[in-house]
Every structure is written in C-alpha cells, then in structure tokens.
Chain A
C-alpha cells in the first residue's frame, strides 16, 4: 500500500502531497522536511529507494522534480518506480509534454489525475488510455458547464447521457 505521494522540487519546495494514511498537519510538515533532507541529498547513481521509519520511500527524479511514494517494507519497489512513471506519462500526455509550470499552476489537475490512478493507496487503473479518457470526459463536462454557466446541474447531467 502507498501511504503518501509527494512531489518536491530540487530546492525542497512542495508541489503536491497526497496522504493515504492519516498524518496530522504537524506530522506532514515533519515528514516532508525529513524526507526532502534525505532524498534531495542523495547522489544520482544510488538506488531510488530509501528506508525510512520502517517504511520504504521510492523516489524518482524528473527534471527538477522529485516524485516520492512511501510504501510498506514488503512492497515491490521496482513496481512503484513504474507506478510513478505511469503517472508521469499520463501527466505528460494530458498536459502535452508536461513541465513543472503545468504542475505549479494546475496542481488541482494533477490531483484529479492522481485520483484516477491511485485510490486508497492502491493502484486502481493501469491503463493509460482509460485514465485519460475519464479525465477528458470530466473536462468536457466542465467546458459545457462553463458555456452554460447560467444553467444548473440537471442540464449538465443530461449532457453526459
């Protein structure tokens, strides 16, 4: 099970956090500080795994951004690396060659996408196309909603039928 997902920049700035296990706000800050301390200082050729507080944190760096996922000890680290990559590929396809700015200004989109890939800390969908299609459908509805901003939800519901 994945306990949380973190996106941190090389400078230690947080770009996205998603917690699947309960952590208080205080703990969250502490976890982020602790982990960025460990992960950001690691040399590039070392393993992408860090043992931490009895868990394992798998991280991967894309440009200036570190994607980290915290998992149980007996989980398959290589698989998690690919779940990260899977997420990045979907982001890439959605934003069209994704860059950090996309995530900065549209972080809620990144959350929506993540919600379609992971749920309750487990991988729910491993097909890229299915995820993209679902997100697109939601976006179209949003577009429709924008155009017909004066109308209320039942019209939206009809539009999807």
Chain B
C-alpha cells in the first residue's frame, strides 16, 4: 500500500488518520482535529525542521483542511516549500498551495516568482508541477508575469508539458480573455499537434472560443469533421480507447464544437451529416460511454441544420433512452427530448406516456427534469394543466433554489399563455402565497400594473370587474396567518387603489384591514409604507366622493405612531396623509385622482414655468446661467473633475491608473443560448427579451398600446410552434403547424402527426388517468387519444346550439378552466373538475363572481382578437378552445372541412409558421380574424360530430351532460 513510496508516514500521522477513521461522531472528529491543529501550530514554527518532517506537516495540514478546518496558519510554510530545490519537496509544496489558496489570496504574489523560475526549469517534471499551479493560482493581474513562458512551453518537446501549457492558456483565457487574445492562433496550431493528448486538450479552449465567435472558426469545420472521422475509424492510438470505444471523450468534445459551428449554417451542417450519421450507427448503446456519445450526437443534431435521417436516428435513440430501465438514461432521454422539440415539436407526443411516467416517478431529479421539459412544451392549450402541476410541485418541495426557479417559470408561462386575466390573477396568488419571498419583485410590479391597466382598452366594465374580483380574493387571502411580504405589498396597493372603487366594501372595512396589516408586520417598514399610502388613497377617494372621513381609532393610533417613527420615509408618508385629509375635496381630487396610477405624468424638462421668474431676475441684474459645458476654462472648485484634468494637462503627469483593456465578452456561455441566437429564426431563450420583442412587434402592427410587460392575451403562440427551421422531415404543407387564432387561443393541429400515428398500434393497456393527463398536456393527436369522446362533442354542440355567448363562455369556463382557488384540482380527471365547476363551492370568493367574469372573458375575447366582429369569432373561439381543451383533437381535426380550413390558413402568406415571419406577421393574421363563413363551416362540423358520437369514453363529461 505504502510501497509506492515517496512519503514517510510517521506513526503520529497514521494514528491521526486511524483515530479519525474510528471516531463515531462529528464532535469527536472535531476534537481530534483541533488537537492536531494545536500540535501542528506548535511544531511547524519550530526552527530548523528537517525537510522530511516539514513535508509531513504540510500533508497533515492538507488533511486537516480537507476535513473542513482552518489551516491558514500553515499556508506560508507551504509557500516556502515551493521554493525548495528538491523536486519531491517542491511538488508537495505546490500540491498544498493549489489546495489551500484561491487565486485571489495575498500569498500568491510570493509564489509567482518561484513559478516563473520553475517554468524555465530543465526538468520537465518541475515544469509540469509549476504549470499545475499556474492553472490554479494565476489571476488576472499575474497573468502577464508568466504568459511569455507559458507560450514558449507550447513548443516543449514533452507532450505532457505542451498539454498543460494549452490548458494554462485556456485558464488565462477564461480569467481574462483580453490577456491572451493575441495568442488565439496558437490554439489552432496546437490542434494539429501530433500527440492526441495535446490535440484533445486544445479542444477545450477552442470550444470556448467558438462559443463566443462562431464565424471566425468556420474554416475549421472540415478539420474537426476529419478529426472526428479519424477518431471513429480508430486511427488514434489504442491507449485512447475506453471501454472499446475509440477516444470517446474526444468525440464528445468534437461533437460539442460541431454543434456550435453547425447551428444556423446549412453548408457547415451538411458536411457533418455523414460523420454524425456514422456515429449513430457505430455507437455501442450498451455501455454508458456509448450512450454519452449518442446523447451528444442528439444535442448536435438538434443544434445543426436539421437533416431528416439524423433526426430520425436521434428520435430512435431517445425512445431507446426513455424505454430503458436505467433512470440515468430516462433522464437523458427527457433532456434530449427537450432539445429536439425545438425543431421537431411532434416527437414528444410519441413519448407522452413515458414522459408522464417520469413526471410521477419517485426520483426527484427525474421529476424536475420532466418539469423542465413541460416548461419547454407549454402552449396555450395546456398551460393550465402544466402550471397547476408546477405549482403543486412547488408547494411540495423545500429546496429554495428550485422553488424560486419553478416560481419564476410559472410566472413566465402565466404571463405568456394565460387564457384569461382571471386565471392569471389566481395563478399569481398561488405563486405569491407559496413562494412569495422567492419571486422577483418585478413580478409583483407586473401584477399591479396588470390590475391597474386592465385590458388597456376602452372596456371599463371588464377592468373594474377584474379589479373587484382581485380585491375580493385578496380580502379573502388576508385571513391567512402568514403571507410573504411581496404579496402583501401587492395586496396593500390594490386595496388602496381599488378597495372602495366598486362600493361593495366600506372604507372603514378596508382601512381596518390595512391597519391590521401594518400592525401584524410592524417591523417591516416597507410594508408599513405600503399600508399608509394605501390608507391615504382610500381616504382621498372617500373625500372626493363627498363622504365624510371617519378615521378608525386604530388608524389614528397607527398614524400617530408613524408621525414619530424613526424612519423618515414613514414619517413623511404619515405627515402627507394628515395634510391630505385636511384639504378640501377639490384639492384632493387633483392630488389623488382616482384610478390614475397608469396615467403618464408629464415632466416639463425645460422648466418653462420658471421663465417669467428668470426674466425678472435678469432684469434685476442677475448673472445669466452658463451651461456647464461652456464653463471649461474656469477653475471651478466645485467641479473637481475639471480641475483635475486641468492640472493633469499642465504637469504632463498622469496619476490615474491605466485604462483597463476592453474585456471581450465572458467566455462561459452555454452552447444552447448561443445556438439559439445564431439560428436563422432566432428563438430567444430569456423570457424578458422575448417578451419585449413580441410586444414591440405587436404594437407596431396592431397598436395594442401597451409597451410594457404584462399579461398578454394577444400574441399567444405555442412554444413548439416556433421551429428553428421549416423541418424537412415531412413535406412543407403537412409539417407546418397551422393555427387558427381567436381569442388568444391557439388551436394547433398537425396533420402529419395524425397521419403518422394513426397507423401505430394501440398499447395493450394504459392507465386511463395517465391518458387523460397526457391528453391535457399534449393536446395534440396521439395513439392514446384517438378515441373520440362523445361527451365532449356533445358539449360543444349544445353549447353552440344555445347561441348565447354568455352560456357559451360559462360552458367554456367550465370546460377549460379548472376551478380556481379550490384545493389543487385533480388534473387527471377532467370530468371531475367540470363537475365541481358547474356546482360551484360556496366558500370560493371567485366563484361568486362567475357570471361577471364570464362576460369579462367575453369582452377580452373581442378586444384581444382586435377584431370588430362580435359573435362569430367568439363562438369559434369557443369551439377552438373546447376542442383544444378536450383531449379528442385527433378526430376533431380530421374532418375534411377543417382540413380545408387549415390549409387555406396555410396559403395565407402571413401564417406564422413561415420561417422568418414568426412574430411580426402574427397580428396581421389576428386583425383578419375569422369570418362568418368559417364559423358556419365549424358549426356544420360540430353538428356532424355531435350526431355521430362514438361511445368509447362515455364518463368523461357525463356530469356536465346530466
């Protein structure tokens, strides 16, 4: 064991290790280690310690530090050891400092000199040890000190040294890209190194470089392809084989690089097809490393310009992964699916049951990954199911990091796809309630703005209904014992602004609640500030309305308390409140106009109202104002900047530091982000950029009038439906997803999918609950949902026949919308949720308003369709939504009428699946809207379906049918 030598272990040290190995508790271990630290402290500072002893002390220090204790007292001794001439001692010294010190440690400066010397050593092992330390310890400031030597070492005769020199340069590049920007060509040269190890190491820096600037490396595509080809043909030395695979780690790196180079570049991609195709065939899918390479192939295929054969191969591998028993492979399968649906939305549908299995798996990692996939495939037809599931999961976990992430995803999806404002507010309530402290404050502001702006158009009734329902729900929620403060801020603001607006609640009731909040959270100043301002608003509105203001005793005492508060902000607010109450109604109306939070406040930047005053002063002989820019000649004491420059120029000495070199963009950008940014049709990853981009395009065309982030029911699009390329797997007509958009509901169908999967055999037995979930998630066609549901069809028929839009939307709401604040709806069973919503529970404050809300939805439909057409599109939207909400789209869309309709939609040049025209053209389609003829066709079709129901899924909607 110890025979490999080099280290005399004293009995002391062996005893230490042994006793630590034997101790039973952390406390015991700590005690032993603390003892050891004392001993070491004493020993290490003794004079004239023999090197061998010293080396052992240092190793013991490493051990102590590894166990989580502070060994900083010995760092300096480790640094001293690196100065030693004896390689053995030096190596120990280097090992210790690389483990002890971070690159920003003060002691680094003492090592740089040694490293410089060692890099010049004749002994290549000394050089290697020094290079190891370089990679760990050299920081931005010390790079120049060692850079020339490291570059020189690129030409060293030993490959181990060359390799480490390449890695060191890579490290420099990561630390400070500008420091080595002139040396980038060296990496290209090293790619041709005749040692495969050096070549493999060079791929690391090249990957980073290409991530940042793809275009400068396009010329290397053929080199990379030929290297990969040679690797797969086993041209590399046998020693690089790993589990019978030729140099798999190099293959993976190469595939990553090819994915970057091929993304958005048809020509480059074409040169990769053969070799990647070969890989798919050659990879051994029984070994882990084989699967690693296969997974990397899929990632590559999903990034480069699509090729039908490769996509097919990738799909095969994914299904193999998903069917595997290994959780690792399932995980990779889900991940790969998430990558591939960007280009090829329909493949997820094949695997929907596997996906749902993963969602319900006991393995948390797998579950999370599946949620990530769901997030990627959310569209307006399944947003409710997905977001509800996400929220349920969010409530159930404790991991704060993931909670935050899920919360922000819920918010993002809700903002993007919300079927109604109502739903949006409920969802937000839930998110805030359970993860309020974790969501971005911006989200809260957005919610306030949404409530304030409403639909942003001239439909005031809907807006006020939305507000009063929000007020009611908030008053209800306030009874909860503990709420996150961000959420309470929203509540306070809304109560202040709209609490008394509809006259349902008296001012004293609202103010009482606000005082309660201020009292309950008395140590939170922001909270109190919100509450006081809300109080002021309520009182102001009361006065404007001509009612007498009776301040509750608790309000009185609250304000008195705040008048002497230590916080000046709270004090000021309290004084303002007092002042406002003292004014007459007219003045108050000017100061606090009702519902004006969204009005623009015009700022007179020129201060023109001061003109007369200025004229008067000038007439009295005052000095005219000279703008700062024209005053440069004077030595102005207050403007130290000017003075400084003046001095600097006279003395010719510069005291300020040299300007920092302009840093190039940081290196670590995930390849996906880059890939998406360089694709022909960009699919921006970050939420906010996407949002703003769309908003911009919408406003430019349809003048929606809102330039801010808010709930958008207009440009709803499905995430899957934004293919990076027109996927060449199928012919254009059949593959392009056609959508018919009304009321912000995107009805999606994929004819090709249906054609393909109709022929597939039905699985022997699948749990019906899962099928339903699958249906509600995937919405589209699939093997499991081909069975038409008679209930659903008849519903739509009845609904249609009733011809009353109110009825329709209530049916719609019942059908599509799982009832709100109820205990988390059982999404697996649509039938049940419909049942409850048709017989609303009494406690639910939202439910009481259902009638009102329905018309609100109705109005939203008209507004957001941006069409003047009143009933026609509405009814159609109902149809669209019912159909999408149901799981029976398979049959629903297969009728010839509908197909004609869809195809005609396709011929419309503004269809958004035309590449390049995605977002901008969409509103055009909106404004065209559906015409009455279309809706008649739909009517006919619905009737037809209603008449011939197949009775295979009878119980799904039986409650609704009575």
Contacts and interface: CB of A to CB of B under 8 A. Distances in A.
Check if A and B associate.
yes
A155 to B, nearest CB: 10
Contacts of B132: 115, 119
Interface string A101-113: 1101111110110
A151 to B, nearest CB: 9
Interface string B135-176: 110000000000000000000000010011001101100100
Contacts of B62: 107-108
B413 interface: no
A53 B289 CA distance: 26
A16 B99 CA distance: 11
Contact of A47 (B63, B68, B327): B327
A51 B672 contact: no
Contacts of B14: 105
Nearest to B401: A53
Given A53-B401, A79-B249, A86-B242, A156 B295 contact: no
Contacts of B362: 43, 46
Contacts of A134: 128, 160
A153 B87 contact: yes
B136 A120 contact: yes
Interface string B667-681: 010111000000000
B247 interface: yes
Contact of B197 (A29, A127, A137, A145): A127
A144 B327 CA distance: 50
Contacts of A146: 5-6, 88
Contact of B670 (A72, A82, A123): A72
A89 B201 CA distance: 20
Interface string B285-296: 000110110011
Contact of B135 (A28, A52, A73, A120): A120
A76 to B, nearest CB: 6
B865 to A, nearest CB: 39
A153 B405 CA distance: 56
B123 interface: yes
Interface residues of A, number: 76
Interface in B52-105: 59, 62-63, 65-68, 70, 85-88, 91-92, 95, 98-99, 102-104
A73 B670 contact: yes
B68 A51 contact: no
B67 A78 contact: no
Nearest to B85: A153
A53 to B, nearest CB: 5
Interface in B185-205: 196-197, 200-201, 204
A150 B411 CA distance: 71
A82 B1 contact: no
Contacts, number: 211
Contacts of A154: 85
B600 interface: no
B106 interface: no
Nearest to B132: A115
Interface string B223-264: 000000000000001011011000111101000000000000
Give chain B's interface residue range (CB within 8 Å of chain A): 35 or more
A142 B4 CA distance: 10
A77 to B, nearest CB: 7
B331 interface: yes
B9 interface: yes
Nearest to B237: A127
A122 B163 CA distance: 12
Contact of B86 (A85, A129, A145): A145
Interface in A52-85: 52-54, 72-74, 76-79, 81-83, 85
Contact of B1 (A45, A101, A108): A101
B289 to A, nearest CB: 5
Contacts of B113: none
Contact of A119 (B135, B240, B248): B135
A108 B171 contact: no
A139 B5 contact: yes
B99 A18 contact: yes
A142 B88 contact: yes
Given A25-B70, A105-B1, A51 B363 contact: no
Interface string A121-161: 01111111110001001110111011000001110110011
B47 interface: no
Given A46-B327, A124-B164, A142 B252 contact: no
B127 to A, nearest CB: 11
Contacts of A101: 1
B200 A152 contact: no
Given A119-B164, A120-B171, A153-B87, 12 more contacts: A17-B66, A22-B102, A47-B328, A47-B331, A72-B668, A79-B249, A81-B288, A107-B66, A108-B95, A120-B135, A122-B167, A124-B167
The 6 closest A-B pairs by CB, nearest first: A78-B292, A153-B85, A142-B6, A47-B327, A126-B249, A129-B239
10 contacts: A14-B66, A45-B327, A47-B363, A119-B135, A119-B164, A124-B167, A126-B249, A138-B91, A146-B6, A156-B87
